[in-house]
Amino acid sequence: MNYVNCGNFKTSYAKDAAIYKTVFSKISIYSFLILMLLVPFYANSYILYILNMIFISSIAAVGLNILTGFTGLISLGHGAFIGVGAFATGYLALNYGMNFYFVIPLAALITAIIGIIFGLPSLRLKDLYLSIATLAAQFILEFIFIRAESFTGGVNGMPVAYPTIFGIEINNDFRFYFFAYSFAIVMITIGKNILRTKIGRAFISVRDNYIAAEAMGVDIFKYKLLSFGISSFYAGVAGSLWAYYVQFITPEHFTITVSIQYLSMIIIGGLGSVLGSIFGTIFMVILPEMLRHLVDLLSGVAPFLKQIFPAIREAFYGIVIILFLLFEPEGLARRWNLIKAYWKLWPFSY
Amino acid sequence: MSALLEVKNIYLSFGGIMAVAGVSFKVNKGEIFSIIGPNGAGKTSVLNVVTGIYKPKRGKILFEDTDITNLPVKKRAKLGLVRTFQNLELFKGMTVLDNLMLSRHIFMNYGLISSIFYFGKALKEEVKNREFVEDVIDFLDLSAVRKKYVFELSYGIQKRVELARALCLQPKLLMLDEPMAGMNTEETEDMARYIIDINEEMGITIILIEHDMNVVMDLSHRVVALDFGEKICEGKPEEVANDERVLSAYLGEEKWV
Ligand SMILES: Nc1ncnc2c1ncn2[C@@H]1O[C@H](COP(=O)(O)OP(=O)(O)OP(=O)(O)O)[C@@H](O)[C@H]1O
Ligand SMILES: [Mg+2]
């Protein structure tokens, strides 16, 4: 299986630009995707819950990575944008009784527009100043979630009904698995496509060197806004799925902590990498679960651990992020590439 | 010969410093036109005004007889005004190939939807522009580093990538800001060869800023010399080289060899 890459000469430029470049990687990725379809038949609902959270969160993480990792615009408002998607979903489903296949795109579109509006300061602001502006977006939106009671239910939150498809209610972890999984695959594929074309290159050019980008004819402001729009669209889809999954949303779900968690995900996974966003999500969803089990295990010896679990969790996040920034600043994606490169040359790995 | 670019009495200052003080010159179609002058003379500043990065306090820039003084930077590439930078300004996180493909940005017209599905128009245009890029890669002997990230490459190669990126924009006027700076003799000779080929075979007009006087003498059709932001001399290379004001401007400058 390691020989496949040796005679890897592309016969056309289209093939050279393909996402999966060898037959081997194509086969492995498709088999993996199909195997994933079998998981729910064997997993219990706890595992399914975790996987569903990973699907939903990875959509949002890819979105944030498009903005922050690829375009270089740090956003501290991603959590609130996810909230916009969630509340828009609740509102549309509750008041208009729309089905999810209208609600999700509409909610995502609304989120995209709001994202673009809050991206407008990027015309004048850069770096730290821009991230402060997105922090303002976070707080303004949180305020709206709480105050615009007729839309959001305010602090009491709002219920969201199950989505139905062909008369089937998606009302348990098992069914939701297929639902969220499909969305994750579609959104990640779209992201990959956007990033390997003209738009993705323009994003990176804005990140790496905006003066040169402009001299090459890239309309920087347009692409900054487009990046805000696409990133928020992803947040909207994730928020919408989340609303359908948890079925009850309150403003507390979309605080600055959530924004920071998403930033952590993409830093841990790897800025500027779609695969990294997914790794980061898996890591950040599983880590607190592991921690919880550890605390449960130790609580026999030290019962107070259970009480301070939330505090431990936050501190642990912080430590993990610092460790990554120090020792693996390019994230899990780079580790993965190193491992892949190692196996490609195995057993001659020098 | 008709003028491709006309710089008319431009002034540019930074705080108290007069970077450019009333410089005028014309660049004719098809020529290699060099700008020389000691460090801080205002050479790069003139390019920055021509490419629109800075707006002149006074004066005009005409390109193909159209006033472009107030045209935004991003629109100038489309007209065919293309430059390289004195201190490499590549997209470091992209491969060489993507850097060059980015230069084809303005030649691609497909939109977001087409890009989402990577189908039809997007695919067709990506391939068509890739072909153009590959020609430039061949021309500048970059095929070995095509898939390398820019930050992995040596300084000399990065300079060449920057030239390639400029060529991918199909310039009418190519402005090179010290393309040989920091290169060894062999790399310098290669670069000189490329510049001549670009000018003669592709018929691209070139503005060259260069400190290496041998290069300037060999390549240029005409030269303008600046000092303290002012034009002190203009003419054929040998005329400028023997001009008294030029000689005194360079007095004590070791680069005058
Ligand atoms: N962005 C800027 N801000 C402040 N001063 C500047 C700026 N750019 C240039 N200058 C000043 O303008 C003058 C001309 O600079 P310029 O870079 O045009 O010189 P140059 O001829 O290209 O020199 P070199 O050979 O060193 O590249 C210098 O005194 C420089 O310090
Ligand atoms: Mg200079």
| Residue A11 lies inside a defined structural domain of this protein | no
Instruction: For tokens 């580790």, name the residue.
Output: A335
Inter-CA distances, A324 with A52, A70, A265, B114, Å: 25, 19, 11, 37
pLDDT score at A7: 42
Residue A11: pLDDT band (50, 70, 90) is: low
Predicted ipTM?
0.91
Nearest by CB to A212, which of B85, B93, B118? Answer: B85
Are A78 and A263 contacting, i.e. CB atoms less than 8 angstroms apart? yes
Kind of pairing, strands B222-227 and B58-63?
unpaired
Q: Considering its fold, how many domains does chain A have in total?
A: 1
Average pLDDT, stretch A257-262? Answer: 93
Its domain, for residue A328, covers 36-345
Q: How far is the CA of B177 from the centre of ligand 2 (A)?
A: 7
Instruction: Please name the residue ranges forming H helices in A148-219.
Output: 149-152, 173-195, 198-208, 210-215
Residue A350 predicted with pLDDT over 70: no
| Residue A13 lies inside a defined structural domain of this protein | no
pLDDT score at B252: 57
pLDDT score at A345: 64
Residue B55 CB contacts under 8 Å (≥ 6 apart), including other chains? B49, B69, B70
Task: Look up the CATH number of the domain holding residue A236.
Answer: 1.10.3470
Nearest by CB to A197, which of B85, B89, B118? Answer: B118
Which of B45, B55, B83, B226 for mutating ligand 1's site (highest number of atoms within 8 Å of CB)? Answer: B45
- Please tell me the CATH code under which domain B87-170 is placed: 3.40.50.300
Residues constituting chain A: 350
Strand positions, DSSP E, A61-184: 158-159, 164-165, 168-169
pLDDT score at B97: 97
- Mean pLDDT, chain A, as a whole number? 90
From the CA of B226, give the closest atom in ligand 1: 21
DSSP A66: I
Average pLDDT, stretch A268-290? Answer: 93
pLDDT score at A347: 58
Q: How far is the CA of B252 from the centre of ligand 2 (A)?
A: 19
Considering chain B, tell me which residue range(s) the CATH 3.40.50.300 domain(s) occupy: 1-80+172-257, 87-170
How is domain B1-80+172-257 classified at the architecture level of CATH?
3-Layer(aba) Sandwich (3.40)
Residues of chain B below pLDDT 70: 1, 251-257
* Joined tokens for residue A130: 């821009």
Mutate to test the interface with B, among A11, A62, A198, A211 (most CBs of B within 10 A): A198
Of residues A320 and B75, the one with the higher pLDDT is B75
Alpha carbon distance B14, B21 (integer Å): 12
Alpha carbon distance A22, A10 (integer Å): 10
Of residues A106 and B242, the one with the higher pLDDT is A106
| Residue A25 lies inside a defined structural domain of this protein | no
| Residue A20 lies inside a defined structural domain of this protein | no
Q: How far is the CA of B48 from the centre of ligand 2 (A)?
A: 10
Alpha carbon distance A114, A317 (integer Å): 29
